[in-house]
Structure 1
Amino acid sequence: MATPVLTAVKYGNVTRCFFKDAVRCVSTTSSLQSPRRPKTGGRNIVLVDGVRTPFLQSSTTYKSLMPHDLARTAIQGLLKRTAVKTTDVEYVVFGTVIQEVNTSNLAREASLGAGMPQNIPAHTVTQACISSNQAITTGVGLIASGQVDAVVSGGVEFMSDVPIRWGRKLRQMALKMNKTKGAQAQMSLLIKTLASKPAFLEIPAVAEFSTGEVMGHSADRLCAAFGISRIEQDEYALRSHTKAHWASEKGLLSDIIPYKVPGVAETVVKDNGIRPSSIEKLSKLKAAFIKPHGTITAANSSFLTDGASACLLMSEEKALALGFQPKAYLREFVYVSQDPKDQLLLGPAYATPRVLEKAGLAMSDISVFEFHEAFAGQILANLKAMDSDYFAKNHMNRSEKVGTPDLSKFNLWGGSLSIGHPFGATGVRLLTTAANRLIDEDGQFALIAACAAGGIGHGMVVERYPQK
C-alpha cells in the first residue's frame, strides 16, 4: 500500500486535513467537510457497526442468566451483523462495573463463548458508568499505536444477580475455619465470631466509597444547587420516554439484536423500560432519596438494567481492505474528573468544551448530541452549567461558557432514562446511536458525553463516514 499523503483543504477559517492514498480518495465535493486528521498516531479509526441486546429492567426476562451470557450474545450478534471473520478480529475488550466473581475476566469468557479463536486476547475494564466508553478508547489506543487493526469493544451489566458477600468478620472466620482442625475448635471460633455481632451481609450499593453518598442523593443536591425544579425534571423524563417510544416504533433503534433467552418462549426484541406516561402521573410519585422534599423520583431516574453491547472498531485501511462500509470516524476524546461530592454528575459539562477544543470545533458544528441520562436533573444541571459564565470562570478556569447544546439535536431517540442504563454497556449504545443518527439525519459531527461515579466524565467527537 502506498504511504498515505496528508492533504490540507481550507473551509472558511478552518483547515481540514485528510489522507489520500491508494485505497481511498476522499471527495472534496461531498456535502460533508473533509475528515480532519486525528491526533491518534496519524491513523484514521472507524466504527464499522455496533449492536446491543435489548435493555431490560433487572429481575425480568434475563434474571436466570449470567453477565457473560449477555456479553457473548452481543459479540455473536455483532459478528452476524457485520459478517466479519473471527480471524480478522485481533483483540476483545469489555467494560463492566459489578464483577461476577466466577468470570473475573468477563471479556475472555464472552469471547470464547461467542466462538472467537482462542488465540485472540481479551481483557476487562471498569470505570463506573463509562466502562464501555473506556473499552472503546482502549480499542482506539490499540489501533492507533499499531498493535492491532481490529478490535471488538463492548460492555455489560447484570443487576439481576449481583455478588453479595458475608460480612468481613464472617469471611475472616471462614478462612480461619478452613485451617482449623477439629470440630470443637471450629465451634469455638464460630461462637467467638458470632458473639462479636458481625454484619452478616454486604450488598453492593450505588454509592460513592469516598463520600458514602448514594448517587440519587448527590443528584438531589445538584438539582437544588442549580435550581432545577421537580416539574422540569418530570418534563425531561417524559421527553426521554416519548422520544424513545417514537424511535422504537419507527424502527430507528436498529442496534438491537433479538435475543432468544433459554427457557423463555418469546424472543426478546425490544427494550422493556420505555413507558410514555403523563406529567400528571409523574407528579404523583414521591421523592426516592431525600424524603419528603427531594425532587428525584423513580420516574425521573434511570433504572437498574440488564444488558450488553458490542462494536467493531478498525483502522480505516483495514476496514476498506476487507470491504466494509464504516459508519463513523472516531475522532477526539477526553476524560475528566472533579469533586466526587458536589460535582459528581457534572462530567459532561467539563468534558464538552475540552473535547470541542481538541477537535477544533464549536458547539454549532455539532449535528448530533448523545448524552448519558443518569437522572433528568443531572442532564438539566449540566446544561445549566454549560450555559453559565460564572460556572465556567469559577469552576472550570475558562474565560467563557461553552453554551448549551441545541435540544432539537439532543438525545432525539431517547436516552438512559427510558431505554435503560446497564452501567457497563451504555457507552457503546451512545456511540452506535450517534453514528446511526448522523447517517439518518445527514449530519457530520456528533458529540457523546457521560458522567460516572467518582466524579469522572467522558466526551468524544464522532464524525460521519461518507456513505456510498
Structure 2
Amino acid sequence: MAIIRAFTSSSLLNTFNNVGTRALGTSATQFAEAKKTSVAKPGAKNIVLIDGVRTPFLMSGTQYNKLMPHDLARQSLKSLASRLSLDKNSVDYISMGTVIQEVKTSNIAREAALGAGFSDRIPAHTVTMACISSNQAISTCAGFMYAGVYDACIAGGVEFMSDVPIRHSRKMRALMLKLNKAKTTGARLSLLSQLSMKHLMPELPAVAEFSTNESMGHSGDRLAAAFKISREEQDEFALRSHTLAHNAQEAGNLSDLVPFKVPGVDQIVDKDNGIRVSTKEQMAKLRAAFVKPHGTVTAANASYLTDGASACLICTEEKAKEMGWKPKAYIRDFTYVSQDPKDQLLLGPSYATPKVLGMAGLKPSDIDVWEIHEAFAGQVLANLKAMDSDWFAQNYQGLPGKVGAPPMEKLNNWGGSLSIGHPFGATGVRLIMHAAHRLIKEDGHLACITACAAGGQGVGMIVERYPGATV
C-alpha cells in the first residue's frame, strides 16, 4: 500500500475538453526527414506488419451469445485471409491469445486455423497473458522470425465472455471422480448417498487475482484514490473515449473491423455496439461498481465484458517483398514488465514506457501516436500521473527522473477499450492496428503501445510507419 500512503504527485497535467480528432499535421517533407532517424537496429532483421482485422467487438450476451469462442477466432482468420487474398499455405505459424479457455478447444489457435481452412501442416499454439495475450502472440511470432525459424506468421486473439466455463464445486468433482472409479452398484449407491445441496453449488468464474483474491475493479478504485483521481476526472476521460470512438466510427477510421454475418442473427453485425456517447450528468448518476458506496469506478468509466477476436499478418521484410505484400508498419522494440499485483496491478504502462523507449533510444517527444489500453479511466489517468512524477520514477523505478506523460492530443485519438470494448485476448492486435492506421492518417512516424494486465504485468511496443503505407 506504499503508493496510497506516500504518493504526492502534482495534479493532472492535461484536461480533456477537446474531444474532437486532430491530425498531427506533419508535412511530407518532415516525414521524409524523420525516416532518416529510423529506430531500426543495425544488422537486425526487419519485421513488418502487413495488415490486421477484427470482428466487431460486442458486449457479452448480445449478438454473439449463441456462438463459441472458436467461431469468433475462425472468423478473424477467415477475414484476414479474405482481405489480403492470402494463400493459406504461405503462412508458417499461427499464434493466438486467450484468457478464459473453452475446454473443448484448449488450443484455440489450432482449432480456429483448421476451421478457417489453413493447411493442417501449419503449427499453431495458444498463449495466455491476461489483457496482453495477443501482444504476446505478436512478439512470440516476431521472436520466431528474428531467430530465422519462420518468415510469415499470423498473430491474434479471442475472448468470449457470453459463455464462460462454470465448474461443479470441488466436492462435487471429487464425488464424480470416485463414482467413475467405483466397481460395484453398492459402492456407487454409497457414494450417491453422500450427495447434498452443498455439492450442487457451482464455482462461478471471477475476474479476480488469484494471488490477492481481489477483483481488478477494486484495484482500479484503490489506484484512483492513491493518485487522487476524482470521479469527475474519470467520467470525463470515459466520455472522451466514447466521443472519440464514435467520431472515428462515423469517419470510417475503424477499418480493421470486418462485418460479420452471425449465424442466427438477421442483420449483419458491422459495428462495435458498446460505443455510447452519454453526458456527464447521466454518468454522475451511476453508483460505485466495486467499492461501495464511496468508490469512484462505475460501469460508465470502466471497460465492459466483451466478445471479439482479432488477427494480423506479420512477416520479415524480405518475405513481404517476395510475396508482394504491402506493409503498414515496422514492429520495432517490445518489452514486458511486472510488478506487485496488489499495490501496482494496473501500472504496467508506467513501467513499460521508459523501458521500451530506452531500448529504442527514444524520448516521449519522438512519439507521434500513443495507444494505451483503457481498463479503467482511473487506471489511464493514474499511469499518466506516474509517468509525469520524478518522485515515482526515483522511488519505484530506480530512474533519475520522470519519463513524462504523453500529450493528450496524441493519446487514443480513436477511442479505446472503455468505448470500443475489451475482449481480453484480442485487444493487443486492435491496439497495434490503431497505432499503424493512426500513423498513416495523422502523418506520423513512430507509435508507442502500452497496456496493463492481470498479475501486475504490462507491455510496451514501438511501431514505425512503413514508407508509402496506406490504410
Determine if the TM-score, normalized by the shorter chain, exceeds 0.5. yes
Partner of 1:200: 201
| Matched-pair contact (CA < 8 Å) for 1:57–1:273 | yes
Partner secondary structure for residue 192 of structure 1: coil
1:187 shift after superposition? 2.5
Q: Take 2:273 and 2:151, find their aligned partners in 1: how far apart are those partners?
A: 36
| Matched-pair contact (CA < 8 Å) for 1:337–1:455 | yes
| Matched-pair contact (CA < 8 Å) for 1:234–1:282 | yes
| Counterpart mapping for 1:32-47 below 5 A | 32-34=34-36, 35-38=38-41, 42-47=44-49
Instruction: Using CA pairs under 8 Å that are at least 6 residues apart, name the structure with larger relative contact order, 1 or 2.
Output: 2
Amino acid at match of 1:442: D
1:322 shift after superposition? 1.0
Partner of 2:131: 129
| Matched-pair contact (CA < 8 Å) for 2:31–2:443 | no
Q: Take 2:124 and 2:31, find their aligned partners in 1: how far apart are those partners?
A: 41
TM value normalised by structure 2: 0.92
Amino acid at match of 1:149: D
Q: Take 2:65 and 2:150, find their aligned partners in 1: how far apart are those partners?
A: 36
Partner of 2:170: 168
Amino acid at match of 2:132: I
1:268-307 deviations in whole A, cap 9, x for unaligned? 0000000000000000000000000000000000000000
Q: Out of 49-58 and 175-184, give the one that drifted further.
A: 175-184
| Matched-pair contact (CA < 8 Å) for 2:95–2:127 | yes
Partner secondary structure for residue 50 of structure 2: strand
1:57 shift after superposition? 0.2
Matching residue within 137, 143, 146 for 2:145: 143
Question: Is 2:327 the counterpart of 1:314?
Answer: no
1:417-459 deviations in whole A, cap 9, x for unaligned? 0000000000000001100000000100000000000000000
1:234-281 deviations in whole A, cap 9, x for unaligned? 000000000000000000000000100011111100000000000000
Aligned residues: 440
Q: Take 2:322 and 2:200, find their aligned partners in 1: how far apart are those partners?
A: 59
Amino acid at match of 1:134: Q
1:150-202 deviations in whole A, cap 9, x for unaligned? 0000000000000000011111111110111333322221232538x447211
Q: Take 1:398 and 1:187, find their aligned partners in 2: how far apart are those partners?
A: 66
Question: Is 2:264 the counterpart of 1:263?
Answer: yes
Partner of 1:435: 436
| Matched-pair contact (CA < 8 Å) for 2:31–2:444 | no
| Matched-pair contact (CA < 8 Å) for 1:301–1:374 | yes
Partner of 1:79: 81
| Matched-pair contact (CA < 8 Å) for 1:169–1:193 | no
Q: Take 2:61 and 2:32, find their aligned partners in 1: how far apart are those partners?
A: 48
1:55-101 deviations in whole A, cap 9, x for unaligned? 00000000000001000000011011112211110100000000000
Partner secondary structure for residue 35 of structure 2: coil
1:87-137 deviations in whole A, cap 9, x for unaligned? 110100000000000001100000001100010000000000000000000
Partner of 1:70: 72
| Matched-pair contact (CA < 8 Å) for 1:38–1:332 | no
Partner of 1:91: 93
Partner secondary structure for residue 112 of structure 1: helix
1:324-377 deviations in whole A, cap 9, x for unaligned? 110000000110000000100000000000000000100000000000000000
| Counterpart mapping for 1:245-324 below 5 A | 245-324=246-325
1:354 to 1:199, Cα distance in 2 relative to 1, 3 A: farther
| Matched-pair contact (CA < 8 Å) for 1:349–1:383 | yes
Q: Out of 82-91 and 377-386, give the one that drifted further.
A: 82-91
Question: Is 2:194 the counterpart of 1:186?
Answer: no
| Matched-pair contact (CA < 8 Å) for 2:31–2:445 | no
Q: Take 1:212 and 1:190, find their aligned partners in 2: how far apart are those partners?
A: 33
What stretches of structure 1 of length at least 5 have no aligned partner?
Answer: 1-26
Q: Take 1:395 and 1:98, find their aligned partners in 2: how far apart are those partners?
A: 32
Q: Take 1:187 and 1:412, find their aligned partners in 2: how far apart are those partners?
A: 64
| Matched-pair contact (CA < 8 Å) for 1:325–1:467 | no
Q: Take 2:183 and 2:51, find their aligned partners in 1: how far apart are those partners?
A: 58
Partner of 1:17: none
Partner secondary structure for residue 196 of structure 2: helix
1:31-69 deviations in whole A, cap 9, x for unaligned? 432333338x72100000010000000000000000010
| Matched-pair contact (CA < 8 Å) for 1:368–1:434 | yes
Amino acid at match of 2:39: R
Partner of 1:370: 371
TM value normalised by structure 1: 0.92
Amino acid at match of 1:81: R
| Matched-pair contact (CA < 8 Å) for 2:229–2:378 | yes
Aligned CA RMSD, in angstroms, stands at 1.5
Partner of 1:417: 418
Q: Take 1:86 and 1:59, find their aligned partners in 2: how far apart are those partners?
A: 32
| Matched-pair contact (CA < 8 Å) for 1:168–1:199 | no
If each structure's strand is expressed as a fraction of its own residues, which one has the higher value? 1
What stretches of structure 2 of length at least 5 have no aligned partner?
Answer: 1-28
Q: Take 1:402 and 1:449, find their aligned partners in 2: how far apart are those partners?
A: 14
Matching residue within 151, 154, 163 for 1:152: 154
| Matched-pair contact (CA < 8 Å) for 1:47–1:313 | yes
Q: Take 2:295 and 2:271, find their aligned partners in 1: how far apart are those partners?
A: 32
Q: Take 1:454 and 1:258, find their aligned partners in 2: how far apart are those partners?
A: 34
| Counterpart mapping for 1:6-85 below 5 A | 30-34=32-36, 35-38=38-41, 42-85=44-87
